[in-house]
Amino acid sequence: MNSTPIYVEAPARLHLGFLDLNGGLGRRFGSVGLTLDGLATKIIARPADQLKVIGDPTGRVQKYAEKFIAYKGLSDNFELEVVEQILGHSGLGSGTQLAIAVGTALSRLFGLETKSAEIAVLSNRGARSGIGIGAFDRGGFLVDAGRNSESTVPPIISRLAFPSNWRAILIFDKSQRGLHGQDEDASFAKLPDFSPQTADKLCRLVIMQILPAVCEQSIDIFNQGIYELQKCIGEYFASAQGGRYTSPAVAEACGFLESLGVQGVGQSSWGPTGFAFVDSETNAHLMLRKLQSKFESVEELNFKIVSARNTGAVVKNLEQKDLEKQEITSLSKSNKS
């Protein structure tokens, strides 16, 4: 076992929509997503007398750790400290990033080289989307190809660097959580048939509009494509989530931004987190001030400006100088959303 503590920082992601829920060509799902900077799950693994988890009231970290060591036949003489977590069930990939972060930290601590996809499968993550795995491994703007009958996880088929000057305004509703677990599975089972024509449209939209717009840094064309993708997917999932948006408050905020000319708005995964893309830090702060003024009295809403993250997770041995840094060791500020 490695005697030096291991630090893992796993970034949040936006899930911008599925491409083909019809599956007529042999693959189903397929999705588009973006890795985010400034929101991450951070874990430290270190040797200890027995398994101990610090800073995780949900119990998920212990569950993932026990699965991993049982699978690999490892001892339980270690400690896991959760310094920070992505807000759970908010549409930002918290479960996948937590599972992979735990498995990766333990893999490095025990001198193994376990791939993130293997950890995801073990932890029952990545069944429908490979965006979270791609965000951990590589970061950037991602497209996965969905799954066929032989797939373990959906493969990433496109990864682009996202323009560094573009920003996403995140819209949080702290009063709600998106569908997950058995409720999510049940909702998928009740959804109507997905037409091949819609799948054709969405795949063409991604290949011929959204991806080129990222390459050519054309925010207007990118936002037009994201809006159309979100509109189609939001209407398809409306029966399961009560409309195009899970949160009425987030829907109102996105509608307000649309009225100001911001077209690239939508909801990440099952929500409730919404987003809006703008072309610069300056415009992001301008829109943020307008949102804060408009929704000052709406207590459940808050907002955050983030940039894309064009690199994957941070995985490193912690030296003493690292352990002394407050952003890693200050438990008084841990478990932020």
In the chain, the number of structural domains is 2
User: Do 68 and 122 form a contact (C-beta atoms < 8 A)?
Assistant: yes
- In the prediction, which pLDDT does 204 show? 98
- In the prediction, which pLDDT does 182 show? 67
- CATH code: domain of residue 337: 3.30.230.10
Q: Classify the phi-psi angles of 285: left when phi > 0, otherwise alpha if psi is within -120 to 50, otherwise beta.
A: alpha
- For residues 242 and 275, state if they share a domain: yes
- For residues 226 and 297, state if they share a domain: yes
Q: Is the pLDDT of residue 109 over 80?
A: yes
- For residues 303 and 326, state if they share a domain: no
Q: Classify the phi-psi angles of 198: left when phi > 0, otherwise alpha if psi is within -120 to 50, otherwise beta.
A: alpha
User: Do 52 and 234 form a contact (C-beta atoms < 8 A)?
Assistant: no
Q: Distance (Å, rounded) from C-alpha 207 to C-alpha 93?
A: 24
Residue 78 lies in domain? 1-161+309-337
Of 40-54, 261-275, 307-321, minimum mean pLDDT range: 307-321
- For residues 282 and 168, state if they share a domain: yes
- In the prediction, which pLDDT does 296 show? 95
- In the prediction, which pLDDT does 325 show? 61
- For residues 111 and 187, state if they share a domain: no
- For residues 9 and 65, state if they share a domain: yes
DSSP per position, 73-105: T----EEEEEEE-PPTTSSS-HHHHHHHHHHHH
- In the prediction, which pLDDT does 186 show? 77
Handedness of CA 37, 21, 241, 250 (dihedral sign): positive
Return the structure tokens found at 184: 């999510």
Q: Which residues contact 198 (CB under 8 A, 6 or more apart)?
A: 22, 232, 236
- For residues 108 and 209, state if they share a domain: no
- For residues 22 and 120, state if they share a domain: yes
- For residues 170 and 248, state if they share a domain: yes
Range 99-114 average pLDDT: 97
Minimal CA–CA distance to 17: which of 28, 33, 5? 33
Handedness of CA 206, 207, 208, 214 (dihedral sign): positive
- For residues 8 and 49, state if they share a domain: yes
Residues 12-21 as b or e (16 or more Cβ within 10 Å = b): bbbbbbbbbb
Q: Is the pLDDT of residue 336 over 50?
A: no
Number of H helices, E strands in the chain: 13, 11
Q: Distance (Å, rounded) from C-alpha 154 to C-alpha 147?
A: 5
- CATH code: domain of residue 290: 3.30.70.890
- For residues 281 and 302, state if they share a domain: yes
Rg of the chain over Cα atoms, rounded to whole angstroms, equals 20
On average, the pLDDT of the chain sits at 92
Range 120-138 average pLDDT: 95
Q: Is the pLDDT of residue 287 over 80?
A: yes
Q: Which residues contact 303 (CB under 8 A, 6 or more apart)?
A: 169, 170, 171, 172, 288, 291, 292
- In the prediction, which pLDDT does 63 show? 96
Angle between helices 196-205 and 219-236 (to 10 degrees): 160
- For residues 302 and 334, state if they share a domain: no
Q: What is the pLDDT of residues 248-284, one digit of tens each?
A: 999 999 999 999 999 999 999 989 999 999 999 999 9
**pLDDT-derived band at 240, boundaries 50, 70, 90:** confident
